Each structure stands twice: as C-alpha cells, then as structure tokens.
Amino acid sequence: MTKKVKSAKHVSEFESIFKCPMCEASMKVFELKSFICSNNHTFDFTKQGYLNLTTHPMKTKYSKDLFKARRKLIAEDTFFEPLIQAFAEMIKRQADIKRESLFILDTECGEGSHLANICDKVGSDFENTVTGVGIDISKEGILAAAKNYTNQIWTVADLANTPFKDKRFDVILNILSPSNYAEFNRLLRADGFVIKVVPRSGYLKEIREALFDKSAKQDYSNIDTIDRFNENLPIVDRLRVQYTRELNNLSMQSLVQMTPLTWIANEKRIKSFLERDSVEITVNLEILIGGKIS
C-alpha cells in the first residue's frame, strides 16, 4: 500500500472532523485520491501521504534542512525526552482515559516528532484509539512528518483558518509556537484542554550567551505570554521542566540549525560556538494546561 493510499484510508475514518477551508462544507475522501467537499472544492492527497488544505501560498523561513536537524535532535538524540514524558503524564492526569478515543491536535507541528512520541506514550494507557493530527504552514515540515510517521494525519494548514469542525479535539498542543486562542476555543470539546509550552529565562542560555552581547536576546521573560494564555484559557495545571543535556558537536550543529536564535546572530559567533567539541545545554520550559472557556 502506498503512503498516498494509506493516508487516504486513514483520513476516511475521520472525515467527520474536517470542514472545507474554502466554504466550511463537510468533506469526503474520493477514490482514495482526493478530499472533496460537498461544494466540489478538491484537495489531492500527495504521494508522500499528507494533505495541503491551505487556500493560498504560505511563506515560511523554515527549511528542509531545519526540519532534518530538528528530527535528529528530537527523535535520534532524544533531546526533549523529559518534556515528552511530562506531556504524557499531564494528559493522563487531565483526560478521562476511559473514553473511547482521544483526539490530539498539534498546531505548528513541524516535522511531527513531538506529536508522534506523545501519541505513542499516551496511547499505551488508553484502551482505545489515540488519534494524532498535525498541522503546520510549512510544507517541508509536513512532508517530513508524513515521511517518518504514518500513523498520524498530517496537513498543511493555516492556524488562522484550520480545516476542522467545531468541538472535535480533546487536546491541543501548542509547543514553543504562536497561539490562536479563538481557534483553540472553537476546536476544543467541552472538557478539552490546551497544553502550551513557553520558554523560561534559562532556556538555551548557553547559546544566547555565546551568540549575543548583554541584551534582550540573553534574557527572556514569559510573564506576558502566560498572562495572555490565562486570560483566554484559564490555567488548571502547570509544570516547570528543567534539565541539562551534553551535546556532541554533531548534535550542536543540529541545535544551531533548528533554532531561530541563529537567524539574527553574527556568523563569526556561530562559527566560534560550533568549534567546541561538546557543550552542556539547558532546557528550561514551562508547561501550561488551560481549560476551555464556557
């Protein structure tokens, strides 16, 4: 079975969660080739096994090389393993694991490693189905996700106009990425919740100190972000995740490749940082769980 056919079969089982991004009509899988709404707006499944449900071209700075580096760091080097474990434990604590199924949406999912790992860990404690859906505006990210993880649904989609019907998701993941609280509230089921990850002041401090002079780039405050989250999705649980990992030079290159911090850094400083054989890197994050506003 090709990835295209496998993806079409998988999506056909969950057609009811989708709506057309152009007219909001219901959608159906047609001949395991296309996804068509009742008004005949048509979106084809790609040979790699994903759907592009955007209505216009989307520009992004995220490249194929960035997602390759991200996958190496997350999937191969397990750089974020404590974070993934914390995610799984918080979902198990908040969700009713007796329900027949759990739908998890990862917004700005990138190359899919976080969602795939979380679904695997949470799925082991659910008697029935855990369905993961990942969206991102980057076609390169979704292509990489579909290539490496065939058990989830991957869609190029705009967070400002998600192709899903109201109240379809139990959990929405928002990991180190922008939020759209109006969409989050629309998409969540009545007892659903959003898990947002924001960096704390010590996050990747070794890179900040190496690449920037004393400036705002060396320091970070998430107070405004947390306040805005709490205003839109009242916080019901929170957890700080802090640890350090020693990275060899190859993993350091992956980290430098994937972090937007290097986009505005001096090339000489980046080169100097990468001349080290290894480095101890701090991960310092805050996980917030917010409940839907009634």
Note the pLDDT of residue 215.
Answer: 61
Predicted confidence (pLDDT) per residue in 56-78, tens digit: 888 888 889 999 999 999 999 99
Bridge-based pairing of strands 34-37 and 51-52 is unpaired
Task: Name the band, by pLDDT with cuts 50, 70 and 90, for residue 265.
Answer: confident
Sign, CA torsion 48/50/55/61 = negative
Task: Please report, for the chain, the start and end positions of each structural domain, with discontinuous segments joined by +.
Answer: 1-49, 50-291
- Determine the average pLDDT of the residues in 136-140: 95
From residue 105, give the alpha-carbon distance in Å to each of 31, 109, 226. 26, 9, 21
What is the layout of strands, in order, in the sheet containing 34-37? 27-30, 34-37, 42-44
Q: What is the mean pLDDT of residues 180-197?
A: 95
Helix, strand, or coil here: 287? strand
DSSP 76-111: IS-TTHHHHHHHHHHHHHHS-TTSSEEEEEEET-TT
Which has the higher per-residue pLDDT, 125 or 284?
A: 284
Thinking of the domain 50-291, which architecture would CATH place it in? 3-Layer(aba) Sandwich (3.40)
Write down the pLDDT at residue 220.
66
Evaluate if residue 195 carries a pLDDT over 60: yes
Q: Is 258 exposed, middle or buried (0-12, 13-18, 19+ CB in 10 A)?
A: buried
End-to-end CA distance of the chain: 44
Spatial separation of the C-alpha atoms in residues 81 and 47, rounded to whole Å: 31
What is the pLDDT averaged over residues 35-46? 98
**Residue 155 identity (one-letter amino acid):** T
Statement: residue 155 has pLDDT above 90: yes
Residue 214 above 80 pLDDT?
A: no
Whole-number average pLDDT of the chain: 92
| Contact by Cβ (8 Å): 161, 25 | no
Q: What is the pLDDT of residue 213?
A: 81
Q: How far is Cα 10 from Cα 150, in angstroms, rounded to an integer?
A: 9
In this predicted structure, the answer to whether residue 46 has a pLDDT above a threshold of 90 is yes
pLDDT attached to residue 283: 97
Better pLDDT: 269 or 265: 269
Residue 127 above 80 pLDDT? no
Taking only the tens place, the pLDDT of each residue in 80-122 is: 999 999 998 999 888 765 567 899 999 999 999 999 999 999 9
The pLDDT tens digits for 218-261 are: 566 788 999 999 999 999 999 999 999 999 999 999 999 999 88
For residues 5-23, one letter each, b for 16 or more C-beta atoms within 10 angstroms of the residue's C-beta and e for the rest, the string is ebbbebbeebeebbbbbee
Contact assessment for residue 18 and residue 35, using Cβ atoms and an 8 Å cutoff: yes
Q: Which of 18-27, 43-52, 56-65, 120-129 shows the lowest mean pLDDT across its residues?
A: 120-129
Does 39 have pLDDT greater than 90?
A: yes
Average pLDDT score over residue span 272-293:
94
